[in-house]
Amino acid sequence: MKTSASSSRLSRRTLFAGAGVAGAAAVAATALPAVVPRRAEPAPMTDRPAPEKGGGYALTEHVKRYYKTARV
């Protein structure tokens, strides 16, 4: 009878230890996404020559992407 009581305590200890580890893992998983990796600095902007006929509109990749997504 004494062996069943000691094995019962052992399984309770294992249960509580497992619950503690699971809780610690949950806290770590919650805090982990808050760490943001450092990104490389953006490339410096280059000055374009002024257009010959006035205006300043240029069909850049950004503008092309906008028109592509705005299609109906």
pTM: 0.36
Q: Where are the domains of the chain?
A: 1-35
**pLDDT (tens digit, 9 = 90+) per residue, 22-46?**
988 888 877 776 666 677 777 777 7
Helices (H) and strands (E) in the chain, counts: 2, 0
pLDDT in tens, 1-21: 455 555 566 688 888 888 899
How far is the CA of 35 from the CAs of 22, 28, 51, in angstroms?
21, 11, 44
